[in-house]
Amino acid sequence: SKEYFSTVVQDSRIKVVEADVEFNWSMINNIGAKAATGDVFVFLNNDTLVITPDWIEKLASMASLPEVGLVGPQLLYEDNTIQHAGVVVGMGGWADHVFKNQLPVHRSGPFVSPMLNRNVLAITGACQVIERAKFEQLGGFDEQFIICGSDVDICIRAHQQGLQNVYCADAALHHLESKSRSSFIPKQDFLMSEIRYAPYRNDKGDPYFNENLDLMSTMPRMLTNA
């Protein structure tokens, strides 16, 4: 609320930037990035709650490695099941979160445990950390995406430029997904996603998800005909 912002802005370390535009997730984050002065950017949804006290330090440290692009934490729903443990492009036909709705525990199976750090093609925009120089090198978020898709798109572009995106299981937050806005997704976002995700949905496949695993299941399992 404006009352809350008027309170936090009294801290000299905090700057509140008013974005007087129709809601566009990509544009709002780009506006914030242009106003920021730090060397590391943290893009964080307003429906998140901290679990790991030093989560920023963990994510920023990893994002500062020269070969790393974007870094994201483990995100849990209110019931403490997994909301995000890395994005698999092509999962469910578009892109989805592997291990979604599963408990955050080590498990045996045909895929890497959700409790271990690993390289991924993409991470969700609910919490993304990246160095300023790399963000500017990538040209920021593509504002042709209105609500959904630009988070995965910037990760794909980072991957294509030789950077490694990382899921950091060492840092965890709660994500009260879409509690602060409607779940409506504009047609424009589907059209843009279809174009940008195409190489990994149709041809190459997600390089961090084995082709013998079932893309129609967020819980990793072997294809029945594999």
Query: Coil, strand or helix: which one is 157?
Result: helix
* 161 contacts: CB under 8 Å, gap ≥ 6: 69, 137, 138
For every residue of 29-66, which 3-state class applies, written as one string?
HHHHHHHCCCCEEEEECCCEEECCCCHHHHHHHHHCCC
pLDDT value at 203 more than 80 = no
Instruction: Record the tokens describing residue 79, joined without a space.
Output: 């019931």
Instruction: Name the residue with higher pLDDT: 9 or 32.
Output: 32
**What's the whole-number average pLDDT of the chain?**
94
Does pTM surpass 0.75? Answer: yes
Given the structure tokens 């630009």, which residue do they identify? 150
**Count of CB atoms situated within 10 Å of the CB of 48:** 18
* 44, β-bridge pairs: 127
d(CA 48, CA 51): 10
Q: Which domains can be identified in the chain, with CATH numbers?
A: 38-203 (3.90.550.60)
pLDDT of amino acid 181? 55
**Count of CB atoms situated within 10 Å of the CB of 36:** 15
d(CA 70, CA 165): 5
Task: Find the mean pLDDT for residues 48-68.
Answer: 98
Instruction: Name the residue with higher pLDDT: 178 or 187.
Output: 187
Strands (E), 67-212: 68-76, 82-84, 87-89, 95-97, 118-120, 127-131, 164-175
pLDDT value at 84 more than 90 = yes
**Count of CB atoms situated within 10 Å of the CB of 108:** 5
pLDDT tier at 19, thresholds 50, 70, 90: confident
Query: Coil, strand or helix: which one is 10?
Result: coil
pLDDT tier at 43, thresholds 50, 70, 90: very high
pLDDT tier at 18, thresholds 50, 70, 90: confident
pLDDT value at 220 more than 80 = yes
Task: Find the mean pLDDT for residues 9-14.
Answer: 88
**Count of CB atoms situated within 10 Å of the CB of 22:** 7
pLDDT value at 83 more than 70 = yes
* 3 contacts: CB under 8 Å, gap ≥ 6: none
pLDDT of amino acid 12? 86
pLDDT value at 102 more than 80 = yes
Q: Give the angle 91-96-97 at the CA atoms, nearest 5°.
A: 120
pLDDT tier at 180, thresholds 50, 70, 90: low
104-140 pLDDT per residue, tens: 999 889 999 999 999 999 999 999 999 999 999 999 9
pLDDT of amino acid 224? 87
